[in-house]
Structure 1
């Protein structure tokens, strides 16, 4: 992984295309950043990417998807070049890495930012391409390794760490995992929490949301937004809701989103006798209104980095019931902005939902506190500013070398 010059190994990054005469060019043009992601399907990581790119128009962005581009590709600004490597499931990482290497040599970025395990091959590819600065971020753990204990993956993370200038996590929980379990150097780790657009997600859209949900004022709507996959543990939510619904005729459950578990969840709802009380809305473009139209937002995940949809629910002034996993306790203040419950615990989930169902005053108090916290601590502008500072600092440092 090195070239040879004057009898010694030379990192490709020491012979970057922008070296020497390219330094003057860098100062007169926008910083070129290539973001590498596993896919551009619907998800929290992808949502965060779209937010960062849209909030930093002063940079020249390109997005490379290791797999299919997916639905979120449509949300990126039109000025952003999009590339898919078309990696198939089970295809060796090295093949995608060499395809990515060719793309990076064509794009000649100043900085590459890869996200999550599914795009980690971008790190050696960027190093080989001579990219000046490399950032890798972890946004959450995968269903295949929810505790982050996979020894092979963690060895590979340690192997690549010297090639990375900065490793970003979206929560303190993920930073602690990388430092204490994976054994990455703490000096390279940086926490940048996700941010939320508190104007787009707002209680002001409640009437619009109730109309979109087609429910009356007397109906209490419990809902969730996310990809319908195993790590969200929606079967536990269905079990808990069925118990709640048997005691309350006026309550409904809404799923917003799609995914591989949709058919199984629909079948489970029918088997529980809840087919008429549970709605699966699929992917929607009016998510801000739908969230504002809910009475209680539920996130039953078995693992989380820092949930974007949870932040969106808080910004919309919704009380939250969530499992106390990953970075969620860093967002939800138990008993103040929402209620935390153990993962995979239907009875606890039932009790928490019940507590809001019969107490409109509690829903209002926790919802208002959640909104206030989202506005004060997790605004989109704050997140964008921290990424802007990081990108500029790394590019300037590399330019000076």
Structure 2
């Protein structure tokens, strides 16, 4: 890492919309706590007081709460947020503002330009125009995303797939660089303890031969959980020892519960809700599944690799940059219930082969997706003229 000659610390102000602890929030947290404190003064502005705010406080990172900053479009609140960011940037005079999530990035880039911030960095964790929306909505979101990239001095794409989505955009080619997410090893519990803890949370005694599939994700349509539930329903009658546990909370809970009830899977599929440090229980899973319809570069697959867990995932966004089909996991097309069911059955039927997949994924994550690599490349971008 290159240390600047000046002894003056570089002031970084991160901005993010939500304060839960999804991928974008983990990214901000990891950077904020990992940047060298002898080189950087760090602050985070955020639109909530959730898990991210708590973790930043524990890491002694100063935060600023912006009540009007929220995901949903609201012209009055959005204008209020723009003014709040403008005032914050004028007061703090950061050398770099680093923007994350669509709403915070669009408003933050505009406020940053108005205040003449020296460097505006925007990290694209994925694009909202890749979600299931109307053609008009996708077009408008694409235009707004393009304007955000234009307004920033530099844009970080968390995967080549995210960057490649911008290939046809004019005037932005030299503004975008790929810096993949990186991770340090979480604290895992043992396999036996994890299975016991999961059983305790859901109040169910797993049989000794239980095959436990797991997902760690926000309960959102983008995660494609309905497809896995329907795939599981195809396998459940002839495989009474398979179970599915889903860690996470979100707007799709009622819909998922209805599907579980429809198929009579109340004792086989469990929505655990938000579980603090859910990643620690990964060793208790026989297989992790991520059936997303839209992704950037999901942290949960990096965490699964460090836990030596075999993975089934959909070939969307940056996922194929982590999961190479039949090499470091199994890839299936998105929204394909039959393919998901087949992949689950293959994992169930091939214990030795799935262990090899987990080992190879671990090797890939350890070598190519480290937190140190992500931090070093991001610091270099901050210093680049």
Tell me, yes or no, whether TM beats 0.5. yes
User: Which region of structure 1 is more displaced relative to structure 2, 206-215 or 93-102?
Assistant: 206-215
Distance in 1 of aligned mates of 2:55 and 2:271: 23
From 328, 335, 358, give the equivalent of 2:319: 328
Q: How does 1:2-41 map to 2 (within 5 A)?
A: 27-41=6-20
Does structure 2 retain, via aligned residues, the 8 Å contact 1:143–1:230? no
Aligned to 1:187: 174
Paired residue total: 365
User: Which region of structure 1 is more displaced relative to structure 2, 216-225 or 247-256?
Assistant: 216-225
Compute the displacement of 1:245 (Å): 1.5
Distance in 2 of aligned mates of 1:43 and 1:143: 19
User: Which region of structure 1 is more displaced relative to structure 2, 304-313 or 206-215?
Assistant: 206-215
Does structure 1 retain, via aligned residues, the 8 Å contact 2:129–2:138? no
Structure-2 change in CA distance of 1:295 and 1:183 (3 Å): farther
Structure-2 change in CA distance of 1:161 and 1:327 (3 Å): closer
Distance in 1 of aligned mates of 2:95 and 2:223: 36
Q: Secondary structure at the match of 2:303?
A: helix
Distance in 2 of aligned mates of 1:152 and 1:263: 30
From 3, 11, 29, give the equivalent of 1:50: 29
Does structure 2 retain, via aligned residues, the 8 Å contact 1:210–1:216? no
Q: How does 1:268-283 map to 2 (within 5 A)?
A: 268-283=259-274
Does structure 2 retain, via aligned residues, the 8 Å contact 1:205–1:288? no
Aligned to 1:115: 100
Structure 2 unaligned regions, length at least 5: 200-205
Compute the displacement of 1:183 (Å): 3.5
- The Cα offsets for residues 181-211 of structure 1, whole Å up to 9 and x where unpaired, read as x4452211110101122x3266x73233222
Aligned to 1:82: 63
2:251 pairs with 1:260 = yes
Distance in 2 of aligned mates of 1:145 and 1:342: 16
Compute the displacement of 1:289 (Å): 2.3
Distance in 2 of aligned mates of 1:184 and 1:236: 39
Compute the displacement of 1:279 (Å): 1.5
Q: How does 1:204-219 map to 2 (within 5 A)?
A: 205-214=190-199, 215=206, 217-219=208-210
2:63 pairs with 1:63 = no
Compute the displacement of 1:239 (Å): 0.4
Does structure 2 retain, via aligned residues, the 8 Å contact 1:236–1:344? yes
Does structure 1 retain, via aligned residues, the 8 Å contact 2:33–2:59? no
Q: Secondary structure at the match of 2:273?
A: coil
TM-score (norm 1): 0.86
Does structure 2 retain, via aligned residues, the 8 Å contact 1:227–1:258? yes
Distance in 2 of aligned mates of 1:288 and 1:355: 24
2:363 pairs with 1:358 = no
Distance in 2 of aligned mates of 1:27 and 1:196: 29
Aligned to 1:16: none
2:79 pairs with 1:91 = no
User: Which region of structure 1 is more displaced relative to structure 2, 230-239 or 211-220?
Assistant: 211-220
Structure-2 change in CA distance of 1:265 and 1:156 (3 Å): closer
Does structure 1 retain, via aligned residues, the 8 Å contact 2:150–2:171? no
Aligned to 2:122: 136
Aligned to 2:298: 307
2:151 pairs with 1:168 = no
Q: Secondary structure at the match of 1:178?
A: coil
2:88 pairs with 1:103 = yes
